[in-house]
Amino acid sequence: MRPTLLLLMAMIMLSGCDNKNADFAPQMKNYAYLYQFEAIPGKVKSTHQRLFSADDTPIFDVDIAFDGQGCIAHVKSIDKAGEITEVTREGDKLTGTENGQDVVVTLNKQCAVIKKVTPSMTVDIGYNDQGWVDQISSPASDVKFHLTYNNVGDMTLLSIKKGDEEVSRASAKHDTDAKKISDVVTMVQRNEQSKTVTTQCQYKNDVPFRYDTVTTDAEGQVTDRQYGTIDVTYY
């Protein structure tokens, strides 16, 4: 796992909208971290989410389907380079392709993703006592994700370590204003450089349908703007 890729994933995983008061399916937030989409409350059947640059250039497109128990059933995502990941569940496995390679994802009895295997890499996912993802690692790499949560289950820190050295950390601060409970400000630090990622969501009936993300450098200058759209169907 390349540190640059991990840094990008860290920003995605910590900068999303997160409606903490909503009722989520048991694995929804874990799936959202692992497959890079916004967690949606309620009994979700499917969600189609897209991310764009400020000039409307597509960056990421993902379709996720769930069964009636909230277990992931199908994923198809396309990144900016056109690389596709598509998997479908059969029993305790998600099988398909990831960037042109065969992939097999193993689920446990709670439908949590515990392992992903491609010809080039094996990834292991560990969980804490509360059932949240707390470590992502690979036997072929000394780079690991370490995730930390607050007492209400919001991810507040993602530390990336190479061996014993921390190479990047992303810490999230959730707004204390009850009316802005899903707004997140994330500080990302890597190689003595820092950036701030501010994400704000728009809602209909407490469900996000759009989010806007602004990235600023250490001097407060805007370096990037993105926005995303979210469509949802329910059972």
Is the pLDDT at 21 greater than 90? The verdict is no
pLDDT of 135 reads: 96
- The tally of CA atoms less than 13 A away on the side-chain side of residue 156 is 11
pLDDT in tens, 202-223: 988 888 899 999 999 999 999 9
pLDDT of 206 reads: 80
pLDDT in tens, 79-88: 999 999 999 9
Question: Which residue pairs from 55-60 have beta carbons closer than 8 angstroms and sit at least 24 positions apart in sequence?
Answer: 59/226, 60/36
Quote the tokens at residue 37: 């989409």
Is the pLDDT at 11 greater than 70? The verdict is no
- What pLDDT band is residue 2 in, cutting at 50, 70 and 90? very low
pTM for the whole structure:
0.87
Q: What is the mean pLDDT of residues 56-78?
A: 97
